[in-house]
C-alpha cells in the first residue's frame, strides 16, 4: 500500500490510463476492460485493473490539477513500477485551429505552475511527451478527423486571474488548456518512464461553445480507444 493508493505491489498494470475524474475511471473500466477489479478507493480516487484485448491495463483517477496528479503519478512510478501513463482528459480550446469534440495529443505542455520553477531552481524545463507513445497514438487516430498534435497549457487556475494572457499562448502555438499534463511529463522524465496526454476539447474559450454530456461521453470513448491502442502497441 502506498500513502494514497490502497493497492498491493502487483495489483497495478505496467500501463495506466489516467482520467482526472474517478467516475470516468470507473466508466472506462466498466466500458472497455474485461475482468476489471477495483484496487483502490482511498479518497474516492478509484483505480481498476483489467485487460484490454488480452493486455493488462489499469485505470487510475488523478483528481484535478498538477499537485493532485503528482501524488498519484509519484506513487505509481515509485511504488508500483508503472512504465507508461496516458492521461485521458478534457481541455478547453484556446486556438481557432481546434473545435469542440476535437482530440488534442499533447506533444509538450506549457505551464504557469511553480512546481518546476522550484524543482529546477529558476531554469525552465520543457516537459514533452514520450515520442513512441505519441507516434503510436497518432497512428491509432489515423482516419479520424479533428485530431491535432501540438502544445497544451497546463494551468493551475480553471478561473484564471489574467485570462488575457491566453492570447499570447495562442500566438506561440498553444492549442488548448487543461490542468495536469506538465507535471505528468516532468515526472515521467524524472523516473525514466513514458507518458502522454490526450485530451478532447470539451469547451472553447473563444467561442464559448460547450459539448453536451452525451457528446462528451462519445468523444471521450474515441479517445480512450486511441489511448488503449497506443499504450498496448508500445508496451
- For residues 153 and 2, give the distance between their C-alpha atoms in angstroms, rounded to a whole number: 30
2 binds ligand HPA (CB under 6 A): no
Among 23-31, 69-77, 175-183, 212-220, the segment contacting ligand HPA (CB under 6 A): 175-183
Site string for ligand HPA, 10-49 (x = CB under 6 A): ----------------------------------------
End-to-end Cα distance, the chain: 25
Whole-number minimum distance, CB 201 to ligand HPA, in Å?
Answer: 8
Q: Tell which positions 104-163 bind ligand HPA, by CB under 6 A.
A: 155, 158
- 11 contacts: CB under 8 Å, gap ≥ 6: 39, 49, 80
Among 90, 186, 200, 234, binds ligand HPA (CB under 6 A): 90
58 binds ligand HPA (CB under 6 A): no
DSSP 118-174: HHTTT-----B--HHHHHHHHHHTTT-SSEEEEEEEE-S-SS-S-GGGHHHHHHTTE
- The answer to whether the CB of 176 falls within 8 A of the CB of 90 is no
Query: Looking at beta carbons, which residue is closest to ligand HPA?
Result: 92
Q: Tell which positions 177-196 bind ligand HPA, by CB under 6 A.
A: 177-179
DSSP 66-80: HHHHHHHHHHHHHHS
92 binds ligand HPA (CB under 6 A): yes
Catalytic residues: 203
Residues that bind ligand HPA (CB under 6 A): 90-92, 155, 158, 177-179, 202-203, 205
Amino acid at each position: 500500500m502506498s500513502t494514497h493508493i490502497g493497492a498491493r505491489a502487483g495489483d497495478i498494470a505496467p500501463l495506466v490510463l489516467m482520467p482526472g475524474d474517478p467516475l470516468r475511471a470507473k466508466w472506462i473500466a466498466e466500458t472497455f476492460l474485461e475482468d476489471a477489479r477495483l484496487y483502490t478507493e482511498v479518497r474516492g480516487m478509484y483505480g481498476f485493473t483489467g485487460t484490454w484485448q488480452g493486455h493488462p491495463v489499469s485505470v487510475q483517477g488523478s483528481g484535478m490539477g498538477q499537485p493532485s496528479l503528482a501524488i498519484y503519478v509519484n506513487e505509481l512510478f515509485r511504488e508500483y513500477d508503472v512504465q507508461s501513463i496516458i492521461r485521458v482528459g478534457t481541455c478547453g480550446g484556446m486556438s481557432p485551429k481546434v473545435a469542440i469534440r476535437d482530440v488534442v495529443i499533447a506533444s509538450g505542455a506549457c505551464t504557469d505552475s511553480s512546481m518546476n520553477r522550484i524543482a529546477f531552481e529558476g531554469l525552465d524545463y520543457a516537459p514533452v511527451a514520450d515520442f513512441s507513445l505519441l507516434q503510436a497514438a497518432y497512428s491509432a487516430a489515423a482516419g479520424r478527423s479533428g485530431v491535432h498534435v501540438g502544445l497544451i497549457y497546463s494551468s493551475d487556475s480553471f478561473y484564471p486571474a489574467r485570462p488575457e494572457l491566453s492570447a499570447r499562448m495562442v500566438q506561440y502555438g498553444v492549442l488548448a488548456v487543461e490542468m495536469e499534463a506538465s507535471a505528468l511529463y516532468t515526472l515521467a522524465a524524472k523516473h525514466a518512464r513514458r507518458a502522454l496526454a490526450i485530451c478532447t476539447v470539451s469547451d472553447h474559450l473563444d467561442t464559448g461553445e460547450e459539448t453536451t454530456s452525451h457528446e462528451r461521453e462519445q468523444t471521450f470513448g474515441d479517445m480512450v480507444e486511441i489511448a488503449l491502442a497506443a499504450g498496448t502497441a508500445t508496451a
